[in-house]
Amino acid sequence: MELQHFSHKHPLIFNEERSHESDDNAFCSGCGAAVSGPCFSCVECGFYLDNKCAKAPIEMNHPFHCNHSLNLLESSPYGEGACTCNFCDKYCENFVYHCSCNLDLHIKCALFLYDVAEKKIGDQLQWIENKDPSISTENHSEELKEAECFVCWKPLLGSAYLSLDSGFFLHKKCAELPLEINHLCHRQHSLFLQFNLLPCKICEETQRRGLSYYCPICKFVLHIECVSPPPTIEDTSSHEHSFTRLLLRISSFTCDACGTSGKHVSYVCSTCSLIVHKKCTSLPRIIKSILHQHLVFYKYFVVDSECGALECVICHEEVNKECGNYYCADCKFILHVNCALQDPRWYYKVESRDAFEKLNKNGADTMDPSFFVIKEIRHGENVINTEIKHFSHQHNLILHDEVKDHKCCDGCSQLIETSFYGCLQCDFFLHKPCAQLPRKKQIWGHFHQYPLDLISDCVFLCAICSFGCSGFSYKCEICDDLYCVRCAGRSSACTSQGHKHPLLFYLKYDGQCNVCGGSIHDLSIFRCKGCDFNVHYQCLLLPQTARHKCDEHFLTLTNHEDNDYSEYHYCDICEEKRSPSNWFYYCAICDKSAHPKCVLGDHPFVKRGSSIFIESEHPHSLVFVQKVYPYPECCKCGQPCLGLALECAETRCNYIVHCTCGYPFPREPFQIQF
């Protein structure tokens, strides 16, 4: 028997059983599984389709998706983009049934569900008893301990159906769900068990996998678990009293826990006179937000006569203090409930204040200093540390008040303009604030609850600003993220030159940056809402002063243009036109101005002269350098090394490469060599 399948150019021959040794390693091109029974194959091409995949219809009217038909494709419909099955939640690497409404199903998932809908599950599914998953009674018991039902995505704690050949897990009750129901919350029409990507009318959540009940006429959706919500919910970790279900016939209610509207089903606490969403019956009492240094506590209402109107730190809309919110009374920091909990990467739950403080008692910024005082002098009540032993350097560091040369700090890689600590023997220098950084610190914008450790002498990519950096960094021992000292000192509010009001952090915003003039689309920025003053986070990090070979003096970051003559608005480095409304670097003595990009280059926070060793790159140590004309050619790409480059420290070795060719700033830091 021959079959001309749409997915292959040659006719496929039917094989009742495998006839070649090569068939032992044969995999079906439709579902990706090993071929073990009757199949169709093209021996010339090594192409196989098991019997079920070969006979699957090219177009299917699926019982669980009545809106449209599903078309069988031999690969992802999204080109290079990932395609995920809406049933099993795994990537679709072979044949996929696709609908124009972006529903995607593995071929075996689609066929399996068709049989479930038709109640033809006897031949495919094995009934197992799994009443106590802690007892190993079957070969599959260990797998079942971690398994979830593919319909409701709850653990398989009770009796379940198990498909041995396909690895599908279903609760018995989910496999036997009715395909059509009538519900009090939608009396106009019947609801059908379907795949869809619309939010549930009761819990208002959207699930991207699994089935739910759906009215195709009204677009009304109920998740399976919302069809029959529990009559009472008791979660003392969130609320001291139990909540009782109330089925409403009125159109909507306002949730006392989050301040947003709800429909159809609510839960009430008669003791506290609260009416809430089902999902709001179990809100965490304490969270640690990545946007705040303190714990944030859930409050059903805020009583604070001194705080006045409060804006949510995430959405910057006013918070109704008579509804639930997350609040830090010490700082008047407040979040809408839905803003605080919308992304699990922005917060974590805290069991108690005592547990959190015990965990972090050794992580306070002042508990572990970075240096020991060797010598000090007193001027009245003022004590000045004139000599210190810093953890980052083998020699003592002496306090210097006068800056004779253009030195850069080995902590932050920025110019030193005021008093500093230094080791003249090694040309090692630190700003006073950099020398005083704590050894452990909680970092704004970082998820993990443990304080981060200050490490030195490395070259790395900052996890917040994404700049390549050298010098000090704060490292998380859990995720290995590294943060430069500039980002480690930030918070959700800051100041900027050229603007008199504080700038507040906005997680996502559309507009224009007042510093560089660039557009902002769905990006995190700092903003003054009243003045419509917006700054890219990277623009906020521009150093106030900088050096460049075009001028012998310091260049100062300037936010205004005094000269209105258009011919004056040119960059003295690249000689291209410069926008007078954008910030620029300026020397008032020489009357020279330049774009920030031209002054700073691609890597403004890497100290020139730092030496690293990359075993995979070169047998000798490499030094970060900025060459001048005539520019040597890169040993890798052959182009002139105009910007930051890596040059071999050995004088007899002429090896030099662009920084991007030799060291693309990976996540893992390299140690600087002195």
Report the range out of 21-25, 138-142, 533-537 with the highest average pLDDT.
Answer: 533-537
Amino acid found at 524? S
CATH code for residues 611-673? 3.30.60
Convert the pLDDT of each residue in 71-85 to its tens digit.
Answer: 999 988 887 667 889
Convert the pLDDT of each residue in 609-629 to its tens digit.
Answer: 888 888 888 899 999 998 888
How many Cα atoms are found within 13 Å in the side-chain-facing hemisphere of 594?
A: 22
Is the confidence at residue 366, as pLDDT, over 70? no
| pLDDT band, very low/low/confident/very high, at 162 (cuts 50, 70, 90) | low
What are φ and ψ of residue 625, in 5° steps? Answer: -135, 160
Element (H, E) at 325: strand 325-328
Q: CB neighbours of 179 closer than 8 A, spacing ≥ 6? A: 63, 117, 192, 193
What's the per-residue H, E or C state across 632-667?
Answer: CECCCCCCECCCEEEEECCCCCCCEEEHHHHCCCCC
Top-level class of domain 232-281: alpha beta
Q: How far apart are the first and last CA of the chain?
A: 76
Quick one: 266 exposed, middle or buried, by C-beta within 10 A (0-12, 13-18, 19+)?
buried
Convert the pLDDT of each residue in 438-477 to its tens digit.
Answer: 999 888 888 887 789 999 988 899 988 889 899 999 999 8
Task: Say what the pLDDT of residue 135 is.
Answer: 31
Cβ count within 10 A of residue 240: 11
Task: Say what the pLDDT of residue 81 is.
Answer: 67
Task: Say what the pLDDT of residue 252 is.
Answer: 81
497 versus 17: which is more confidently predicted? 497
Is the confidence at residue 281, as pLDDT, over 60? yes
Is the confidence at residue 164, as pLDDT, over 50? no
Q: Give the mean model confidence (pLDDT) for residues 267-277.
A: 91
Task: Say what the pLDDT of residue 371 is.
Answer: 92
What is the domain partition of the chain in residue ranges? 2-54, 180-227, 232-281, 284-359, 493-540, 545-600, 611-673
Is the confidence at residue 668, as pLDDT, over 60? no
**Domain 232-281 matches domain 611-673 at the CATH topology level:** yes
Task: Say what the pLDDT of residue 251 is.
Answer: 64
The Cα–Cα gap between 84 and 586 comes to 53
Cβ count within 10 A of residue 598: 18
Convert the pLDDT of each residue in 583-606 to its tens digit.
Answer: 999 999 999 999 999 999 888 999
In this structure, the dihedral spanned by the alpha carbons of residues 425, 428, 434 and 439, taken in order and rounded to 10 degrees, is -90
